[in-house]
Amino acid sequence: MAGFWGKRKRDEQQQQELDAHDLDLAKRAREALVAADERIRVTSDELGFAEAELGSDATKGLSEALAVVRVHMGDAFRLHQLNHDHIPDTREELRTRNARIVQLCDWAEDLLEQHTSALAERIARARRAPEIIAGIRGDVELLRTRIPDARQTVDRLAVRYAPEALAQVEANPAEAEQLLGFAEHGVGVAERRREAGQREQANLALEASAESVRRAATLLDAVETFEVEALRAESTLAAIIEDSRGDLVVARKEPHSPGVAKAMTDLQAALAALPPAGVNTDPFTHLDRLREANAGLDAAIAAARERATRPIPPLDHVHHAIDDADRQLAVARDVIAGHRGWIGADARTRLAEAERIRLDLDHFLGMPAATATMIDEDHREQAMGMARRAAYLAAEALQLAKRDIDSSRPQGPDQWGGPGGPGWGGGGRRGGGGDMMGGILGGLVIGSILDGIFD
């Protein structure tokens, strides 16, 4: 009995919780309908204001979204009416309708919020149009006072720097003046279009004017910045010239190598390209070239020092390693080619790897290694390593081939058909004795040859 009453009590508690959830859902559905309806009304008013300020083309997205929302909210209101008509509904039907109402209302508010937020900044800017127009005119007047100073700065820089250095700022004052004139014209167009009720065109003209003012300010700032950056480049260039000359002195004491010699030549050429005192120069170009040459010299010296810590193999040792690899490969090829039926896959694979490395060695040197009379010092160590690797693989292939041949040799009289064996014909008579004996002798001779090679 205790279990029965306990289950009944749990069922009653679950039913109460479900009833509370349904009541809460119904309340949320009613509140969502009211909020969505109010949002549609407010958005309709905002749409009218936005069309007046921006024009119908700018507000087309919001207008279409509002139309779609009204259609779906009509569905939500119909669902709400079904919940309160004279036809009784089940709990599940009420729950499903209320959940759908809440979903539609949330979707409608999110969609309207998305479109109104996208227009909010433009509407605010359009409403502040008189203020923005006044600000643009003030900025134009202020920037115009800077143009004479910018021209004087360019003239002053032209006395000191080469024309190619001034190419990036020489025309900035003239371009800035042209942009300011365009901004003034755009402001006038914006005012006339606003008075004529063409708000969208007025806003476009206002945006173009503001962008022109911004670009003009950037051009004038670039002139002032260039003067400071040019002075800094000259100061840095003097320090790098001194450091470069010291680096050349140090480089002459480093171990000789072609890389260091070439880097020293490049740095000396960069120093020689510097104009004499009193000549207009381009400090940026010379600074970049000296930096690049210095970096190349540092890298070459580091490579030479690193190589100096490793002994360079003599040329005759490299040739000896190449000759040894060729001899090992020749022996392995002869043995494996003469016993194709006896050699397994391991020996053939090792031989193929050895031949591939030997071919790579020719490609690495750019010539047949066997006939190479001169090998660069930077390439000798790697060439010797590749030759030794090829020789090792060829020797391993030969060892595996010997193992395969030894395993195929005759092992005792029964191996080749003693009395009753496979080599004997019916009645104890042996057939094909001459051929069989020749094979045995050939195998013994080959085995003795291989023993002599490995011994």
Of 74, 105, 127, the domain-final residue: 127
Give residue-wise pLDDT tens across range 361-400.
888 888 888 888 888 777 888 888 898 999 999 999 999 9
Half-sphere exposure of 209 (CA within 13 A, CB side): 26
Q: Say yes or no: 25 and 118 in one domain.
A: yes
Residue 452 resides in a domain: no
Beta carbons within 10 angstroms of residue 341's beta carbon: 6
Residue 403 resides in a domain: yes
CATH code for the domain of 175: 1.20.120
End-to-end CA distance of the chain: give it in Å, rounded: 99
CA 289 to chain centre: 28
Task: Count how many domains the chain has.
Answer: 4
Transcribe 137-158 into DSSP letters: HHHHHHHHTTHHHHHHHHHHHH
Q: What SS3 state is found at 113?
A: helix
**Residue pair 381/312 in contact by the 8 Å Cβ criterion:** yes
Give residue-wise pLDDT tens across range 212-259.
999 999 999 999 898 888 888 888 888 888 888 888 888 887 767 777
Strand segments, DSSP code E, in 65-111 are none
Phi/psi for 424 (5° steps) reads -100, 140
Q: Say yes or no: 41 and 120 in one domain.
A: yes
Q: Say yes or no: 139 and 118 in one domain.
A: no
Residue 176 resides in a domain: yes
Q: Say yes or no: 304 and 321 in one domain.
A: no
Q: Say yes or no: 118 and 138 in one domain.
A: no
**Residue pair 201/126 in contact by the 8 Å Cβ criterion:** no
Q: Say yes or no: 163 and 86 in one domain.
A: no
> Is a pLDDT exceeding 70 seen at residue 445?
no
CATH code for the domain of 26: 1.20.1270
Sequence-distant (≥ 6) Cβ neighbours of residue 281 within 8 angstroms: 161, 162, 165, 274, 275
Residue 241 resides in a domain: no
Classify residue 281 by burial, with Cβ atoms within 10 Å: 0-12, 13-18, 19+: buried
Of 292, 308, 324, the domain-final residue: 308
Q: Which of 157, 82, 65, 161 is nearest to 116 (CA)?
A: 65
Give residue-wise pLDDT tens across range 9-38.
555 666 566 666 767 778 888 888 888 888
Question: Can you give the residue range of the structural domain that contains 327?
Answer: 315-408
Q: Say yes or no: 321 and 381 in one domain.
A: yes
User: Can you give the pLDDT at residue 151?
Assistant: 92
Residue 281 resides in a domain: yes
Q: Using CA atoms, how far apart are residues 420 and 417, in angstroms rounded to an integer?
A: 7
Q: Say yes or no: 154 and 79 in one domain.
A: no
Q: Say yes or no: 72 and 61 in one domain.
A: yes
Q: Say yes or no: 270 and 202 in one domain.
A: no
Residue 242 resides in a domain: no
pLDDT band for position 142 (cuts 50, 70, 90)? very high
**Residue pair 387/321 in contact by the 8 Å Cβ criterion:** yes
Q: Say yes or no: 362 and 394 in one domain.
A: yes
Q: Say yes or no: 123 and 25 in one domain.
A: yes
Residue 7 resides in a domain: no
Rounded to a whole number of angstroms, the CA Rg of the chain reads 47
Of 93, 127, 161, the domain-final residue: 127
Residue 61 resides in a domain: yes
